[in-house]
């Protein structure tokens, strides 16, 4: 019984997997909100390098990973695949639980898998600075890290709730030479307007995206980078799932069910898409894949499936996705990376068509699961990652009750070393569960830009 399955550096993937090649039907294209026509590549050129624009639209199954990017990956990849033997024993389950541990990267999460790639392509095109947003700080940390390695300046708009809750994430970004603003900020026109209307706002990813896009669009030397949602981001994250598949092959196993946390969808899709490919092709028709989100921001479980802006200001193209409305500001839960009104269009399409399931959880039950995981497996994990741990524990208990053996796999997307304030609140019994704010979401949904008759 192997507790930790390690691959050699030579098994770091040489290509990213693009699930668009295997979709049963094409993905609905992003729409220009002004023309109501599919967005053209040249319209994205002011904020993205052309190579990423090509990847966004590509339907090629395999995209080569540049040697310079793969060389950086060697700092922490391949990441280990663990068998959660102590958790299994605690739960007395016949299930076999495995998890990929992405907390070993320098920024402490899966995010540098795409941050390094995006910084590289920007450097090759002559970009001097990248502007971005960050929710819990993992993405901002990763992009600061990537920009530092390739000689770029980095500006980060950090969601106010997380900026206040996680000051050491800001310190990490600043150590890697990034400039960090509390969002909404006075640094942008949109930020100033938002603060006038709601000076006490806890912020949101949608607001921070608006600020970062505005910043990049107003500087010819700058580009914008997004850490989730977009196709090229999910593409880069497939190194996680490709490594996991190779590790499972090494031990003669294959998952029966896969869990992952979802805010925009990058870590979840990166881990599961190489497996979902087997389901789409009919090789593994019984594979279950479950996206786990917060009850306070239940995009996949209670949102509408239609076109919406990716940001609050309405500056981005319209994306076909499950959405709570781009004006929706989620409650300030501690899983800051999951506080987003929409989700990746590729993920949403697969959920809508029944290939992937979704479930939502309250933060107190999530932290209870995280504590049990720390007591058994030792790792103190991010609140975001704890959502799938809650789902995994429930599944393992169900297997015990039914006397059923299953192989359970989840992507443990990052450590929680900068989330100790949240753990402290849990340990002191101060965490609050936020119910689905139906009235606020209803108001936000009234401002959807396109009514295409879908739900």
Map out the domains of the chain with their CATH numbers: 17-65+112-224 (3.40.50.1100), 67-108+234-445 (3.40.50.1100)
Q: What is the pLDDT of residues 44-59, one digit of tens each?
A: 988 899 999 999 999 9
Q: Which pLDDT score is estimated for 453? A: 43
- pTM score of the predicted model: 0.93
Residue 314's Cβ-count burial label (10 Å; 0-12, 13-18, 19+) is middle
Q: Which pLDDT score is estimated for 142? A: 97
Q: Which pLDDT score is estimated for 287? A: 98
The enclosing H or E element of 321 equals strand 318-323
SS3 track for 117-139: HHHHHHHHHCCCEEEEEECCCHH
Confidence of residue 178 (pLDDT cuts 50, 70, 90): very high
Alpha carbons 392 and 257: distance in angstroms, whole number: 9
Confidence of residue 332 (pLDDT cuts 50, 70, 90): low
Of 211, 221, 193, nearest in space to 315 by CA:
211
Q: Which residues pair with 288 in a beta bridge?
A: 257
Q: Is the Cβ–Cβ distance between 279 and 357 less than 8 Å?
A: no
Q: Is the Cβ–Cβ distance between 297 and 324 less than 8 Å?
A: yes
* Lowest-confidence segment of 279-293, 326-340, 343-357 by average pLDDT: 326-340
Alpha carbons 296 and 435: distance in angstroms, whole number: 6
Task: Give the side-chain half-sphere CA count within 13 A for 8.
Answer: 1
Residue 371's Cβ-count burial label (10 Å; 0-12, 13-18, 19+) is middle
**E-only strand ranges, 129-232:** 129-134, 153-159, 179-183, 222-224
Strand 96-101 relative to strand 81-83, pairing: antiparallel
CA 200 to chain centre: 26
Residue 295 structure tokens: 């009850």
Q: Is the Cβ–Cβ distance between 70 and 9 less than 8 Å?
A: no
Q: Kindly state the percentage of the chain with pLDDT values over 90.
A: 79
């Amino acid at each position: 019984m192997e507790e930790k399955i390690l691959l050699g550096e030579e098994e770091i993937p040489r290509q990213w997997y693009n699930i668009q090649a295997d979709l049963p039907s094409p993905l609905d294209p992003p729409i220009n909100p002004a023309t109501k026509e599919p967005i053209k590549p040249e319209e994205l050129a002011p904020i993205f390098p052309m190579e990423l624009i090509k990847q966004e639209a590509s339907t090629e199954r395999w995209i080569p990973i540049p040697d310079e990017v793969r060389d950086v990956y060697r700092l922490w990849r391949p990441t280990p695949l663990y068998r959660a033997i102590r958790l299994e024993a605690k739960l007395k389950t016949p299930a076999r639980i495995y998890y990929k541990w992405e907390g070993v990267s320098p920024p402490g999460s899966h995010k540098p898998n795409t941050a390094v790639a995006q910084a590289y392509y920007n450097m090759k095109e002559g970009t001097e600075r990248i502007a971005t947003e960050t929710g819990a700080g993992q993405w901002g940390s990763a992009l600061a890290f990537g920009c530092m390695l390739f000689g770029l300046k980095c500006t980060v708009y950090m969601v106010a709730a997380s900026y206040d809750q996680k000051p050491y994430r800001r310190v990490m970004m600043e150590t890697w030479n990034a400039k960090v603003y509390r969002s909404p900020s006075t640094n942008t026109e949109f930020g100033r307007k938002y603060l006038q209307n709601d000076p006490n706002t806890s912020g949101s990813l949608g607001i921070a995206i608006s600020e970062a896009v505005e910043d990049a669009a107003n500087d010819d030397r700058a580009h914008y980078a997004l850490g989730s949602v977009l196709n090229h981001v999910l593409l880069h994250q497939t190194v996680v799932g490709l490594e996991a598949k190779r590790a499972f092959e090494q031990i003669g196993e294959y998952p029966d069910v896969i869990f992952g946390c979802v805010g925009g969808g990058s870590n979840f899709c990166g881990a599961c898409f190489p497996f979902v490919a087997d389901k789409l092709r009919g090789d593994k028709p019984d594979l279950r894949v479950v996206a786990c989100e917060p009850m306070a921001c239940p995009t996949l479980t209670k949102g509408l499936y239609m076109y919406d802006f990716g940001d609050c200001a309405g500056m981005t193209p319209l994306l076909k996705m499950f959405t709570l409305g781009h004006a929706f500001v989620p409650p300030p839960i501690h899983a800051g990376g999951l506080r987003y009104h929409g989700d990746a269009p590729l993920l949403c399409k697969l959920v809508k068509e029944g290939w992937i399931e979704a479930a939502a959880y309250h933060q107190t039950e999530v932290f209870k699961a995280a504590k049990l995981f720390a007591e058994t497996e030792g790792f103190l994990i991010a609140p975001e990652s704890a959502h799938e741990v809650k789902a995994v524990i429930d599944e393992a208990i169900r297997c015990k009750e039914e006397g059923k053996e299953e192989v359970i796999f989840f992507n443990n997307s990052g450590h929680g070393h900068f989330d100790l304030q949240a753990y402290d609140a849990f340990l002191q019994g101060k965490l609050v569960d936020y119910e689905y704010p139906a009235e606020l979401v209803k108001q936000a949904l009234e401002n959807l830009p396109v009514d295409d008759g879908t739900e």
